[in-house]
């Protein structure tokens, strides 16, 4: 039996416990636990400033934020999306009675390939839902051009893209809306949480109504809204995390650089491209196990497990392979050759701020010594 300490694909960053006490005392004092309390308001403000966005609406989790974003834009019919993501992306469409149409990905970025979008547009298409996979920016300009030509909405699943910027600033300012996840496994976490970023105050107001049962005031309900509100406890954790986020991102950057240096010369291992001119968040460290490497992807995955290293095969299986999507014509693997290949090659190696140099070396040795 291997007795090495387990290393998971990620570990949430948690500030010193005593730093949480003042926040708890405030909640206990004023007895506002949820429904848009003071910490909720403070966190919205602080995140707008930190991320460089105009309007943000906090949610209990990223999935409900995706579901609500589609509601807020009144999306119906068919939506073009990627099969290479976490299931929540496509599930948010099914929850709205929308038909997902899967389009293949770009082999370098692993994001939705804009060159393949037009062929999938039908008279029923109303929107595109791309994902900034691993926090790597989509080709937002090409996507917007298609959306403008065909009068489509764009909702970015930006669950991985906290803090990511392109040459124009926050990546979250593209499209009609962007959705973040603040789940425990994310770069910035509120235990569970999420948010919608939108461009104007009127849209934010509609989102705020939708996440609060549709209530406008005590006696007025304007829509069949959901309960998607973030609690004061989660918002307090977010405010506390924000104080440490720059340090956490800097540590991730160091770990990313060490992996790239150590693995760049390993035959058959390809590190997925780095941020280029973008400001990255180093949310994941995906490698592709290609022919030329002595082990298959699954054999390497298994070997790491035997040494108590719990890397993950994000995103295998493809969303399109799950039973509720398989029968869709666009889910046919022949329509998705790049995504299908990527799903069988990828392993995400552990990356998180408290991963030590020794632990990282253990992982690197296992990948390189074959």
Residues found near ligand T4K in the complex (CB under 6 A):
8-12, 61-63, 85-86, 88-89, 131, 157, 159-160, 181, 183-185, 194, 310, 312, 314
Closest approach of ligand T4K to the CB of residue 62, in Å? 3
Give the residue from 120, 117, 130, 72 showing the smallest Cα distance to 96: 72
Please give the C-alpha separations between residue 198 and each of 4, 174, 268, in angstroms, as whole numbers: 46, 9, 42
Minimum distance from CB of 25 to ligand T4K (Å)?
25
**Judged by CB, which is closer to ligand T4K: 207, or 293?**
207
Q: Closest distance between ligand T4K and the C-beta of residue 104, in Å?
A: 17
Both tokens assigned to 274: 């780095």
Q: Smaller CB distance to ligand T4K: residue 91 or 293? A: 91
Q: How many angstroms separate the CA atoms of 325 and 102, rounded? A: 10
How many whole angstroms separate alpha carbon 133 and alpha carbon 138? 8
Closest distance to ligand T4K from the beta carbon of 222 (Å): 25
Q: Which is nearer to ligand T4K, 8 or 50 (CB)?
A: 8
Nearer to ligand T4K, 8 or 23 (CB): 8
Is the Cβ–Cβ distance between 135 and 160 less than 8 Å? Answer: yes
Smallest distance from the beta carbon of 181 to ligand T4K, in angstroms?
3
Exposure string over 104-113, b if 16+ CB within 10 A, otherwise e:
bbbeebbbbb
Q: Three-state DSSP class for 201?
A: helix
- Shorter beta-carbon distance to ligand T4K: residue 185 or 308: 185
Contacts of 85 (CB under 8 A, 6+ apart): 131, 133, 157, 315, 319
Q: Which is nearer to ligand T4K, 126 or 181 (CB)?
A: 181
Instruction: Give me the helix-helix angle, 232-263 and 21-30, nearest 10°.
Output: 160
Residue nearest to ligand T4K (CB): 62
Instruction: Specify the pairing of strand 153-157 against strand 177-181.
Output: parallel
Q: Tell the smallest beta-carbon distance from residue 91 to ligand T4K (Å).
A: 9
Q: In what order do the strands lie in the sheet with 153-157?
A: 55-59, 194-198, 177-181, 153-157, 125-129, 78-81, 99-102
**Minimum CB distance to ligand T4K smaller for 9 or for 249:** 9
Question: Do 278 and 171 touch, CB atoms closer than 8 A?
Answer: yes
Q: Angle 359-360-362 (CA atoms, 0-180°, nearest 5)?
A: 65
- Of 135 and 225, the one with the shorter C-beta distance to ligand T4K is 135
Instruction: Using only the alpha carbons of the chain, give its radius of gyration.
Output: 21
Q: Residue 60 CB, nearest distance to ligand T4K (Å)?
A: 8
Nearest distance from C-beta of residue 138 to ligand T4K, angstroms: 12
């Amino acid at each position: 039996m291997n007795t090495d300490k387990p290393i998971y694909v990620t570990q949430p960053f948690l500030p010193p416990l005593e730093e949480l006490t003042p926040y708890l005392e405030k909640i206990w004092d004023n007895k506002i636990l949820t429904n848009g309390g003071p910490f909720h308001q403070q966190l919205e403000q602080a995140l707008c400033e930190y991320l460089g966005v105009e309007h943000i609406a906090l949610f209990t989790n990223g999935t409900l934020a995706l579901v609500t974003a589609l509601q807020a834009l009144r999306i119906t019919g068919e939506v073009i999306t990627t099969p290479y993501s976490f299931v929540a992306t496509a599930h948010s469409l099914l929850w709205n009675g929308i038909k997902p149409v899967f389009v293949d990905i770009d082999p370098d970025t692993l994001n939705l390939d804009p060159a393949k979008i037009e062929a999938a547009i039908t008279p029923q298409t109303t929107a595109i839902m791309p994902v900034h996979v691993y926090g790597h920016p989509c080709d937002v300009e090409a996507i917007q051009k298609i959306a403008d030509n065909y009068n489509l909405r764009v909702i970015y699943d930006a669950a991985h893209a906290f803090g990511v910027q392109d040459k124009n600033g926050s990546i979250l300012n593209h499209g009609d809306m962007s959705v973040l996840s603040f789940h425990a496994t994310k770069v910035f976490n509120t235990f569970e949480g999420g948010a919608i970023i939108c461009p104007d105050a009127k849209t934010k107001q509609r989102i705020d109504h939708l996440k609060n049962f549709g209530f406008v005031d005590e006696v007025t309900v304007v829509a069949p809204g959901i309960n998607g509100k973030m609690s004061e406890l989660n918002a307090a954790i977010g405010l506390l995390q924000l104080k440490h986020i720059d340090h956490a991102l800097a540590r991730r950057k160091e770990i990313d650089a060490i992996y790239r240096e150590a693995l760049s010369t390993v035959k058959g291992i390809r590190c997925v491209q780095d941020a280029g001119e973008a400001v990255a968040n180093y949310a994941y460290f995906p490698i592709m196990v290609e022919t030329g490497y002595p082990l298959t992807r699954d054999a390497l995955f298994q070997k790491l497990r035997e040494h108590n290293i719990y890397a993950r095969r994000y995103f295998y299986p493809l969303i399109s392979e799950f039973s509720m999507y398989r029968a869709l014509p666009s889910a046919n693997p022949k329509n998705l050759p790049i995504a299908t290949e990527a799903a069988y090659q990828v392993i995400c190696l552990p990356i998180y701020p408290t991963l030590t140099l020794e632990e990282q070396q253990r992982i690197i040795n296992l990948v390189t010594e074959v």
